[in-house]
Amino acid sequence: MRYIILDTETTGLLARGGDRLLEFAGLEMIDRKLTGRNLHLRIHPQRDIPEEASRIHGITLDDLEGAPVFAAVASEIADFIRDATLIIHNAPFDMGFLDMEFQAAGLPTATSLVAEVIDTLKLAKLQFPGKRNNLDALCDRLGVNRSNRVYHGALIDCELLGEVYFAMTRGQENLLMALDSGTAQDSDPLTLRLGSDPRQPRVVRYAQAEELAAHTAYLDDLDKQIKGTCVWRTVPSTGEDGV
C-alpha cells in the first residue's frame, strides 16, 4: 500500500478566508518503508505573509521570490498524491488548504484524488486522551528527536511525523505484514485469513481462552511501549470472538 506523509505551511489559518498555501512536503512510504521518493515545494502565495505566521514557519515573502505559484505546480502535486493514503497531523487543516488551492487552479479537490486520509492527531487523541498531542508533545512522549526543529517547516515536520506514526503504530501491523509475506499457513484452521482488502480480516473460528489471554498480554506490552492505550483496544467488539 502506498502512503504519503504530508505537511503544508500557509500564510494563516483560514483556507476559505484569503490565506494561501506556501510550502508543500510529502514523503512516500510503501509497506512501512520510506522509498526516498519525496516532493518538497515552496510556493509563492500571491499575497503578504503576516509576521505572526513567519514566526512559526520562518518563511518570509523575500524567501519566496521567484518561487512558482500554486497553479504552476498543482499537477505535480496531484500526480504525487493520487490514489495514495495520506498521513497528516490535523488533516482537516492541510486538506482544507489543498482542496481550496486545487479548486482555485480548476482541478478536482485533493480529497477526491486520494484513497484515504489518516489523521494522526485523531489517532493520538485515542491513544493519549486528555494529553497534549501536538507534534512536539508526541515527539517528546515517544522519544523522537526533534532538536533540529527550529521552525515548523513542512519537510522536517513530515520526517518527524513519519517517526511518530511508526512509534504510535509499532507492532500493530506485524500480523498483517507476516500473513502477507506467506508466514501463515492456509492449512491451519486457526489462521487469520485476509481477503483482497487487508484492512478487513476475518477469523476462521473463535479464539480459544489461551489465545485470548496471549492476545491480552500482547496488548499490555504494546501499552507499555507507547505509554498509553494502543489502537487495538479502541476497536469495539462486534462478535463473540472479540473481533
SS3 call for 36: strand
Residue of 4, 24, 3 lying closest to 94 (CA atoms): 24
User: Among 100-114, 142-156, 224-238, which stretch is predicted with the lowest mean pLDDT?
Assistant: 224-238
* pLDDT of residue 52 exceeding 50: yes
Going 181 to 80 to 14 to 164, the CA torsion angle's sign is positive
pLDDT in tens, 171-213: 654 434 444 444 434 433 333 333 344 444 444 445 667 777 7
Q: Which residue has the higher pLDDT, 36 or 211?
A: 36
From residue 48, give the alpha-carbon distance in Å to each of 54, 80, 97, 176: 10, 28, 17, 48
Given a contact cutoff of 8 angstroms between Cβ atoms, the answer to whether 242 and 207 are in contact is yes
pLDDT value of residue 201: 46
Look at the block and give the residue holding cell 486545487: 102
**What mean pLDDT is predicted for residues 37-62?**
96
**What mean pLDDT is predicted for residues 159-173?**
86
Given a contact cutoff of 8 angstroms between Cβ atoms, the answer to whether 9 and 152 are in contact is yes
User: Among 50-64, 129-143, 180-194, which stretch is predicted with the lowest mean pLDDT?
Assistant: 180-194
* pLDDT of residue 120 exceeding 70: yes
pLDDT value of residue 196: 41
Strand partners, 2: 30
**Across all residues in the chain, what is the average pLDDT?**
83
Confidence band for 13, pLDDT divided at 50, 70 and 90 = very high
SS3 call for 157: helix
pLDDT value of residue 236: 55
The radius of gyration of the chain's CA atoms, rounded to the nearest angstrom, is 21
Residue 65: other Cβ atoms inside 10 A: 8
Q: Which residue has the higher pLDDT, 119 or 203?
A: 119
Tell me the three cell numbers of residue 25: 512536503
The pLDDT > 70 percentage for the chain reads: 78
From residue 84, give the alpha-carbon distance in Å to each of 79, 80, 115, 241: 10, 8, 5, 33
Given a contact cutoff of 8 angstroms between Cβ atoms, the answer to whether 111 and 91 are in contact is no
Residue of 76, 74, 98, 75 lying closest to 86 (CA atoms): 98
Largest CA distance in the chain: 66
Q: CA–CA separation, 99 vs 104, rounded Å?
A: 9
pLDDT value of residue 26: 97
pTM: 0.71
**What mean pLDDT is predicted for residues 72-83?**
98
The pLDDT > 90 percentage for the chain reads: 63
Q: Which residues are catalytic?
A: 152
Confidence band for 40, pLDDT divided at 50, 70 and 90 = very high
